[in-house]
Each structure stands twice: as C-alpha cells, then as structure tokens.
Structure 1
Amino acid sequence: MSEGDLDNPIWASLASRHRALALGADGFARYPAAVAPFLGFAAAAAAAGAEADAALCELVPAGDTALVLGAAPAVGPHWRLRHLADLAQMVCRAPIAAGDAAGGGEAPIVELDAARREDVLALTALVYPHYFRPRTMELGRYFGIYEDGRLAAMAGERMGTHGYTELSAICTHPDFLGRGHARRLMALLVNDNLARGRTAFLHVSQDNARAIELYRRNGFELRRAIAFWSLNRAEPASP
C-alpha cells in the first residue's frame, strides 16, 4: 500500500479496509451518515462531469453536508463547496517508548465497547463535536481512561487502509487535563498498529499548536498540509 494513499485518505479507506461500509458507485463513495460525514472519490471521478454530478446527488441528499479531504471534486453550480481549512497530516513511524507514555498514573486503559457508548458520545460532544456520530465506533477500536467513574480521556481508530491507520477522537475532558492520558492512549494505538504492520497517522488543525506539539513530542512528523472541504447542495431558488 503506497503512502500516496494518504493524499486521498477517505477514498483509500472506503476502497479497502472500510469497503463493507462504503455507499456509492462511479468512483464516489461515502460513509453512512450515522457512521461518519466523509465523502471520497477516485482521482478520475473528480473530472467526470455529468456522471460525477449524478453520483454526488445519490450520495449527498438535499439538506445533508459531506466532508472531503484532499483535492475537491469539480461540481456544478447547484453545489456549495467550501474550503474549511488546511489540516496538518502527521504520521508516526516509530514506537512510542512505554516510559514516555506512563504519565497517567495507575488508572487502567479500557476498551470502549457498545456498553460505554453513551460515555463516549458525551465526551466527544463536549470536546470533539461535529465529527463523532452514533455509529463511529464501528470504524475501529476505541480506548479510554476512567477517573472517578467518568470517562476522562479517549482515543481511537477511524479511517485506514491495509498499511495505515488514522488515530482520531484523541480527547481529554477539561477536568482531567495534564495527567498524561492522551500520551498513554496514543502509545497503545501507535505501538499496536506498528506491530500489525500499520503506520499511524492523524489530522489536526494547523491552528491547534498545543495538540501539534503533543504529537511531535510523541514521534509524529508533519507529512503534508491537506485541504478540508464541506460539500452540500444549494437550496433551489424560490419560485
């Protein structure tokens, strides 16, 4: 699997590891809206004209918004394509030393299964809104740390190909910041994926200096800036 797949990560994920979840045809695919808001397309589909437009209409119903990473497709005038940001795409090619990730004390790391879904949705709604959906946990494994009966921090796997796994929803409740929880969770996921022959990558706002510094300290390197877009249908003009 080529590293070039990271230039088009949504399509690469839907065409490989998440093929069973993919909705679409004619070079376009998306996740079910309850899983994730992401839309991907093969490079050739970006300039497919009327065929691409018809495929998009099937995948993005009126009133819905899809999110795109990388190059944006050419769309007709009845679509609104908005550039949201350029994100930093970072990769980690080496294990995170266990000693570097042990700052979270004795609180155990637990796998977040369906029984803990409400805890996950509550934390992500607070500190990671918009992108985490009711079925997002179907995309990969999610792990968390509890303190005083509350989900203090979590991290998990979202998009992925056969050779790469995206880490996502790396978040800590404001009441539990500064305890090393995010570092421990990243170490678990990075090291386990490397053992499986997969390289971890992630996306972060270029304005989020605190998060970027955390990732750099734990071995992540900037691979590239990648464009982040929203796509939705324009409302028809009133008669």
Structure 2
Amino acid sequence: MKKTELKKLENPVWYSLCETHSKYVIDYNGVKFYNPTICPFGAFINESDTAKALNEYVKLSDKFFLVSENKTPAIETDFVKLDKKIEGCQMVLDSLIESEITEEIIPLTEDYIDEIYNLVWLVMPGYYRKRTFDMGKYFGIFKDGKLVSITGQRMQTDSFIEVSAVVTHPDYTRRGLAKQLTIHTTKEIIKAGKTPILHTTKGNPAIKLYEKLGYNITRDMNWWYYHKK
C-alpha cells in the first residue's frame, strides 16, 4: 500500500467519513461522526476539539464511541460520561491463506435486516444499528430454516474495507461457519480492489483464526464508549 493509504488505517473512521461514507457524516468543527441511525462511531484529528463535539452528538445518541489509535479525547463531564475504554487492535490482510468453503453462503438483502440485527445483538450487543446494514455488503449461512451466522462490511475508504459483524448463533458455533464467512467476505473485498481489514478487542480468541487466514495485527485501536449523563 502507498503511504497515503497506510495513513488512512491510522484513523479508519475519520477517513471512511471523508470518502466512501461521506454521505453519513455529521461534522462538528473537525470532529466527525456517523449519523447515529447508521453507526454510533466518531473520530477526530485533534483531541482538544472533542469536548464540545461530544456535547452536541449526545443530543442525537445517548450512547456512542470515539475511535482512536493512541489519542485521549477531551471531555466535559456536565453532559457526557465516559463509560469505559475498550482496548482493541487493528488487523490487516497480508495474503489470504485459502481454506475450503463447504457451506452455502447467501448475500443478504434488505429483507433480512431484522434477522441480522437480532443475531448481532444476541452475540455482541451494544453498537449495531439496523441501518448499519447500509454501510456495506452482508453475507449469511442458514441452518434449520434460520439465519445462524453472518459477516458484513463496515468502515470503507477508497483503499480499504473492514470485515465486521462476524457472529454465529451460540447453538451453531464450532462448525467453521465464521471462518468460511470471513474468507468469503475477504475475497469479496479483494475482488473490489481494496485491502481487507478488521478490528477486534485485544485478547479475543478470534485473533488466532484471523491470523490463520492471513491477517496480521498492525496497531492498537481504542474505542472510547460514552453515554449521556
């Protein structure tokens, strides 16, 4: 990747809102947020700018995140409270390590928005919105007549697309469904001529799976979680 493309990975939410997802941006004097109906994420360049922006965005969303590699956002505690800092990491595909796909993987249309939402909130509650579906393509595996495993695409720029919402219903884990969906989604991103990336929490057991597929940890990526006071 070129230096300019690598730079975007340092601040993926910011550059997504500058490029592919610019139609979803709410900008408070240089602090950029997604429209909260799409995704409760924001990003910044200068941490000193965030306090007033947080006070404004909390009027639209009671709970939300700022995402940053290593900067600590400023905050005014009259209106907004920091709930927690989630220590995460960014992973970028080096070279995809092929593995057999045996399941039928279905592109998910608008008809499945409710099922996607319910599955994500069952497995990873807290961040997903129904219109997060609009951020990229989603794929799923069905068993026993129901959607049991999905992957999706979230943050996007001209040079990368993020693999996200890798979830499987608890009754259908340990069958390799998430692995096959991650491979499929990764291939779709490569077909689009972009670099696949993903984010996860530090220490997540899924990191080993992603590494076996060819992803490498590149940097910290922290998620500052706020709520209305």
Q: Same fold (TM over 0.5)?
A: yes
Matched, 1:219 2:214: yes
Alignment of 1:125-204 (within 5 A): 125-204=121-200
Q: Decide whether aligned partners of structure 1 residues 181 and 226 sit closer, same or farther in structure 2, where only a CA change above 3 A counts.
A: same
Gaps (5+ residues) in structure 2?
none
Matched, 1:56 2:54: yes
Q: Decide whether aligned partners of structure 1 residues 143 and 65 sit closer, same or farther in structure 2, where only a CA change above 3 A counts.
A: same
Residue 195 of structure 1, CA deviation:
2.5
- Does the CA contact (< 8 Å) of 2:150 and 2:181 recur in 1? yes
Q: Decide whether aligned partners of structure 1 residues 83 and 3 sit closer, same or farther in structure 2, where only a CA change above 3 A counts.
A: farther
Helix, strand or coil at the partner of 1:17: coil
Residue 73 of structure 1, CA deviation:
2.4
> How far apart are the structure 1 equivalents of 2:84 and 2:123?
23
1:22 alignment counterpart: 25
Residue 82 of structure 1, CA deviation:
4.6
- Does the CA contact (< 8 Å) of 2:87 and 2:222 recur in 1? yes
Helix, strand or coil at the partner of 2:221: strand
Residue 90 of structure 1, CA deviation:
0.8
User: 1:62-94: per-residue Cα shift (whole Å, max 9, x none)?
Assistant: 871220111232223424235422102111132
- Does the CA contact (< 8 Å) of 1:81 and 1:230 recur in 2? yes
Matched, 1:4 2:7: yes
Sequence identity percentage: 31
Helix, strand or coil at the partner of 2:210: helix
Higher radius of gyration, 1 or 2: 1
Gaps (5+ residues) in structure 1?
235-239
> How far apart are the structure 2 equivalents of 1:91 and 1:67?
22
Q: Decide whether aligned partners of structure 1 residues 169 and 37 sit closer, same or farther in structure 2, where only a CA change above 3 A counts.
A: same
Paired residue type of 1:89: Q
- Does the CA contact (< 8 Å) of 2:52 and 2:76 recur in 1? no
- Does the CA contact (< 8 Å) of 1:47 and 1:74 recur in 2? yes
> How far apart are the structure 2 equivalents of 1:128 and 1:232?
18
Matched, 1:31 2:34: yes
- Does the CA contact (< 8 Å) of 1:96 and 1:190 recur in 2? no
Matched, 1:80 2:120: no
